[in-house]
Chains A and B, each alone.
Chain A
Amino acid sequence: MRKIVSVVGVLSLVMGLACTSAAEPFDETALYKAAKEERQVNIYSYSSRVFKFGKTFEAKYPGIKVNGFDMDSPEIVTKVLAEQAAKNYVADVIFLKDPSTVVNELYNKKLVFNYVPSDLENLIPAHYKEPLLVHHASVDAIIYNNEKMAAPPIKSLWDMTMKEWKGRVIFPDPQKLSEYIEVLATIVQHSDEMAADYKRVFGQPIKLSPGVKNAGYEWILRLLNNDAIILGSTNDIAKAVGLSDQAQPPVGFTAYSRLRDKEKNPKLKFEIMLDVQPAMGVSTDVIVAIVNKASHPNAAKLLIRWMMGDEKGGQGYEPYFVFGNFPVRKDVSAPEGSKNLSDLNLWKSDPDYVWKHGQEVLDFWVAHLK
């Protein structure tokens, strides 16, 4: 008798395990049915492309309206904090950059939770589904004017601190665009590689300025002292670098996905520099999550599932199937002509490091603005 009990116990245990580990079929029909009763879903999005996948979602799932609301990532965090405090749960889904803040200010306080559609469990690498699902990776990199310059003019980040680039490097204002705090912090985090590359470029070890902690900070300082131009919009940077008919165009950091601006504006002639040492840019995760006590939880789940697309990219993912946005699904590769994320010489921003050191880096930047 005892044997039978234990056999049953083991069996049920095994079955239980099987159920949680193997991909449980994603029951789209049931979810749609439940979502339809909720009639709508509110999504706060860092990207205006929300209207695009919202529209295809509404066509695919009639009866559910997508209320997209686009704003900057920090505003999304501020608003969700306020809505939770007010118990006025407006947002169902948030879709934003700045993972360090999302994790520390929202996820750790249980104000948002993770949702990974069950049929995607095996298709997304672990680091893209924990602690929160990553929708795509976004890259910030350096662009140059390829109408004027035949080849990428920069080989190392240190080139930008040299005399010939004085007043000709544009950097986005981290005081206004928080994602560039991430970029700067990541450069500081990799200060050993920065120091090694300095030695490679100049043939001698780096001498740090008084009071400067490491080669990463030294790079920021020298960039600022080299009369780097600060602009408050990545769109303006793409124009400043890329507009045609320039005698001496600058180079600049901007969002990789700005490449799609060229479709809107044929006068833009710029390209990304792929061979920059020690890294050509910084990648950051764009997160999608469901808000605590969301009023339309099923519609929220269905929408997230739609956003994640299918093995060919898919209609829901289509707006992000562009140069500079990199899919997280193992079965989807970057659009044709674009390298895959793993093939790029990139640094991945580390949410924990950014949370702990981002402000210090920003302070350094502000203190050395002259």
Chain B
Amino acid sequence: MPPSAARYALTPALGIRKRRDIKMFSRAKTYFRKPHIVISLILLVILLFIVIVPFGKMVKDSFVWQFADARLSRNSHPGELTLFHWKRVFAGPLTQNILIRPLYNSISTSLGVSVFAMVIGAFLAWLVARTDLPFKKIVASVAVLPYVIPSYIHALAWLNLFKNDRIGGVAGVFQYLTGISPPDWLSYGYLPIVATLSLHYFPFTFLLVSAALSSIDSRLEESGEILGASRTYILRRITFPLILPALLSSFILTFSRVLGTFGTPYFLGTPVRYYTLSTQIYSNIINRIPSVGYILAFVLIAISSTVIFVNQRMIGKGKSFVTIGGKGFRIKDMPLGSLRYPFLIAIIALFCAAVVLPFTLILWQTFTLYPDDYSIRHLTLLFWTGHANTAFAEGEAGILRNPAIIGAAWNSIKLALTASLLAGLLGIFIGYAVVKGRNTRLAFSVEQLSFLPYLVPGIAFGALYLALFSHRIGPLPALYGTFFLIVLVCVAKNLPFTGRAGITSMLQIGNELEEAAETLGARWSMRFRKIILPLSLQGAISGFILVFITVMRELSLIILLVTPETRTLTTMTFRYQEQGYTQFSSAISVLIIFIVVCGEAVSKKLEKRSPANR
């Protein structure tokens, strides 16, 4: 008791209040002593800058006349409040074509892709993690490759196979072989979009579900077997519920990602006027009507939020997904029996479609002297190693001799490494804060906020960062033109990958481990370093890989933010493509794939050396 205790006795009422204060203070002290609370608060400050402020600007701008709105309305007064943009989207002559039809298309393609990608990814993950499938290691290491190949290459490959006469040019292989012109629904629109994007995005599910499966003690399943449960019953009642969080995470990641995807839906959809919301967002922002683009982005956010809400209801309160306890742990393979080779063949077919075919296509393209001329006698190395020579390729050197491209390659690598490391680290903290504080409002807001950027399409997010960080905000100087700003936008946009990965792996780590260490007197930093970090590393690394790949291939998010000093490989492919130099743009894509595969191999090495795998 402090020396002034006597005074309290004289003024009982005050004393009670003071005592209550002290109680509150000590409660606050224990509150702040909980590491997950402190982490949550720090995370909130970071999220304030990279998420809340941009989101606030998005809301504000949707209600304010912009300068370029003079083109839309004679009554515009830049800077003043207006409902014009909202009316334009929800109750104008354009509503049908910029909102309703694109919305329907967006939802149906995203649902289709999520379901297919989830089924393929989860099944593959189970085969690799739980069965005696032959060549498992190889399958596991190539499983992520479809995501490494730019999705427009998948779209291009699809057209090379199934293109019909509708849009002119050369018909696809299908028509060449059969003489039948494929119907429009096979060539363009819904089906090809869903097919190509499913092949592109199933690695999301594969990575998350493999991580979850590899940390589930297979004795849980074996005990079911001992008790006489059938194989399907075990899958349904034991394995499936345990990987449910990972499955739902990957569903959300895929669904939201596809909602915001612009390239492939645009490329395969436009010939039959199949537009999605992302097309409208892109077009409005490029056309400098960002307010309308933002409002359409709100619609996407609303849809994804509903999906997430349902997801949270499904994970439910109080259910335990703890699978890494303080006890021993092992995984036993389930024999596939006579199905071993049929499954392997199916997987090989899948990889031919998702990797070998598109990759061969772009690799071949880099060697063609003339675009679309695949004949052997017209092959050349000029686009790789040609010297700068004004008579050829408008004087551009092959990409391996082109200083601009080599500079851009270093920028890409630097960007992807920094962004994925930062996002990976933040992801572990988010996982810890969210899981330890489960069911508190604080944890809830950290989780929601860290996920928000993922729901905003890249081009809109980039435009927001450009508008915001080209001025100084408080103590922050104008960041436009700096490398840091590009890192920042990539970290913010990809936080959900690592955040989800962090949450998923943290959900599986039992409290008892940390509590035991705490009882033994280990400080939090020690506990984090020795227990939490190693155990969540598997999940964090899969998040890290996803971010690395995504950032290496990022275009729409950063296109407005790069300057000549900071441009990346992707910003260069785009122009070459547009200028008709398929060879250059394909060669850069091959270079990107090469870098990503190296990156993945290195992180796999690190993963092997991580304590969890010792």
Contact = CB atoms under 8 A, between A and B. Distances in A.
Interface in B528-587: 559-560, 563-564, 567, 571, 575-581
B394 A52 contact: yes
A72 B169 CA distance: 25
A359 B72 contact: yes
Question: What is the interface of chain B mostly: helix, strand, loop, or mixed?
Answer: loop
Contact of B68 (A49, A72, A90, A105): A105
B554 to A, nearest CB: 16
Contacts of B4: none
B225 interface: no
B604 interface: no
A87 B280 CA distance: 31
B481 A175 contact: no
B478 A87 contact: yes
Interface stretch (A29-37, A303-311, A333-341, A362-370): A362-370
Contacts of A79: 560, 563
B564 A42 contact: yes
B173 to A, nearest CB: 15
B287 A363 contact: no
B270 interface: yes
B394 A51 contact: yes
Contacts of A356: 71
A265 B287 contact: no
B480 A72 contact: no
A206 B287 CA distance: 32
Interface stretch (A189-197, A238-246, A275-283): A238-246
B288 A74 contact: yes
A176 B282 contact: yes
Contacts of A52: 390, 394-395
Contacts of A265: 370-373, 580
B342 interface: no
Contact of A85 (B388, B471, B563, B576): B471
A362 B280 CA distance: 12
A48 B576 contact: yes
A230 B283 CA distance: 14
Interface in A126-177: 167, 170, 173, 175-176
B579 A48 contact: yes
A3 interface: no
B473 to A, nearest CB: 11
Interface in A101-145: 101, 104-105
Interface string A40-57: 001000001101100100
A72 B470 contact: no
A88 interface: yes
Nearest to B465: A82
Nearest to B571: A71
Interface string A73-91: 0110111001101111010
A247 interface: yes
Contacts of A230: 270-271, 273
A170 to B, nearest CB: 7
Nearest to B88: A363
B466 A250 contact: no
Given A85-B471, A367-B93, A240 B394 contact: no
A319 B282 CA distance: 31
B483 interface: no
8 contacts: A55-B388, A74-B286, A85-B470, A90-B481, A90-B563, A90-B564, A176-B282, A178-B287
Given A78-B560, A243-B169, 12 more contacts: A52-B395, A67-B564, A75-B286, A82-B466, A86-B480, A175-B279, A181-B287, A240-B169, A246-B170, A319-B394, A356-B71, A359-B287
